[in-house]
Amino acid sequence: MRIGNKSAALASAVALAACVASLTAAPAGAAVAAGPCGSGYKLVGTYDISKGGKQGTLEVRWNAGTGKNCALAYGTGANYGRTAYKGVRIKVHGTSGWAGSDAGQYKYYAGPVYVTARGKCISVAGDIKGSQGIAFAFQQRVHCG
């Protein structure tokens, strides 16, 4: 009888430990970082921002649920984590003026900027002041859909 009590106690302890482990592990596993554009955005394009070498990256993301594109301009290499001029712009291709723009003295990236463009192409631009001066990237008629 004593062995049965020990077995039952051990089984209860194992079950309790498994229950506690699943409760403490679930929130960490379920948590998903939203990213710089917010939740639901997937990376759909990256473009080098270059002048005398790569100075940064122009990044484009898409949210199928909202029909919005998001863009950011990151510094890379010596420009990452260094406060310097960074700028980003986005629009529906063929329209006048930028739907969203952001520029200033940033440590990591400019943006995010957004445009609603379901079923349309977009144009995006990014620029960064790096060691070689102002580096620029401009993409027209991309991410159509």
Instruction: Spell out the domain ranges in the chain.
Output: 1-31, 42-142
At 128, the pLDDT band (50, 70, 90 cuts) reads very high
CA atoms within 13 A on the CB side of 28: 5
2 pLDDT higher than 50? no
Nearest to 35 by CA among 111, 136, 144, 140: 111
Higher local confidence (pLDDT), 11 or 105: 105
In tens, the pLDDT along 129-143 reads: 988 899 999 999 999
Q: Residue 104: which pLDDT band, with cuts at 50, 70 and 90?
A: very high
Whether pLDDT at 61 is above 60 = yes
Q: What is the mean pLDDT of the chain?
A: 83
Calculate mean pLDDT across residues 42-67.
95
Q: What are the backbone dihedrals phi and psi of residue 111, each rounded to the nearest 5 degrees, phi first?
A: 110, -170
Residue 69, pLDDT score? 97
Structure tokens at 65: 């649920």
Strands (DSSP E) contained in 23-132 are: 42-50, 54-63, 68-75, 84-92, 100-106, 109-116, 122-130
CA 69/CA 20 separation, integer angstroms: 41
Architecture of domain 42-142: Sandwich (2.60)
Q: How many CB atoms lie within 10 A of CB 137?
A: 22
d(CA 35, CA 49): 21
**Average pLDDT for residues 42-59, to the nearest whole number?**
95
